[in-house]
Amino acid sequence: MADFKKIDKSWTLFLDRDGVINYENVGDYITRWEDFRFYDGVQEALKTLAGLFGIIVIVTNQRGVAKGLMTGQDLLDIHAYMLGKIETTGGRIDKIYYCTDEGPNRKPSPGMAYQAKADFPEIDFTKSIMIGNTMSDMMFGKSVGMTTIFISSNRPAPDFPDPVTDAVYPSLAEAVKAIAGWCTKRTGLH
């Protein structure tokens, strides 16, 4: 189990998108906003996370662009709508990093982590959490020293102990309850 007691505004949260924030079409792609659906409780969870973490970023592989299933503009439109909905409910995403093809930025390679570090030099990977729903997400986080949380929303969780997974929750909302619970106990806030 991950130790959330030390989380404060000096920490960074890295989030995968499909399967964590929104329903994922396993084996297919979300190619337009009309197909994008938030998981229940995600917008409220993101509002809570905005009060706990100093930096929140999304890191997402989006090969649908390279495969010609959508355009780069389609992806940007989906993200713009998503960010608008998150912000209207009090949440915050500081930046979205995405990889549309193979290469050093595609998870599990750590390229997007290093892009975030270049944009936000204050990021300390040992004070960062990666939340994702694939083992690729877990390997991405561990490759730079992050704490990792697996969301088993639509994929089987790894067996424990697992060298690249620190905790497992069924949804982002449940993970946030655990994180916020520890932060509340530590600070005495209600």
- pLDDT for position 37: 96
Q: Which of 3, 18, 94, 119 is catalytic?
A: 18
Does position 185 have pLDDT exceeding 80, yes or no? no
Instruction: Give me the residues paired with residue 169 across strands.
Output: 151
What three-state secondary structure class fits 190?
coil
**β partners of residue 57:** 14, 95
**Maximum separation of any 2 CA atoms in the chain, in Å:** 51
| Mean of pLDDT over the chain | 92
Grade residue 156 by pLDDT with cuts at 50, 70 and 90. Answer: confident
- Is 16 tagged catalytic? yes
pLDDT bracket for residue 176 (50, 70, 90): very high
Give me the catalytic one of 3, 16, 119, 166: 16
pLDDT band at 154 (very low <50, low <70, confident <90, very high): confident
Please return the burial class of 73, using the count of CB atoms within 10 Å of its CB with bins 0-12, 13-18 and 19+: exposed
Start-end of H helices in the chain = 42-52, 72-88, 111-119, 135-143, 172-187
Residue 188 pLDDT exceeds 60 = no
pLDDT tens string 89-102:
999 999 999 999 99
Ranges of each domain in the chain: 12-187
pLDDT band at 141 (very low <50, low <70, confident <90, very high): very high
Q: Which CATH number fits domain 12-187: 3.90.1150.10, 3.30.70.580, 3.50.50.60, 3.40.50.1000?
A: 3.40.50.1000
3 is catalytic: no
The pTM assigned to this predicted structure is 0.93
Whole-angstrom distance, CA of residue 172 vs CA of residue 45? 7
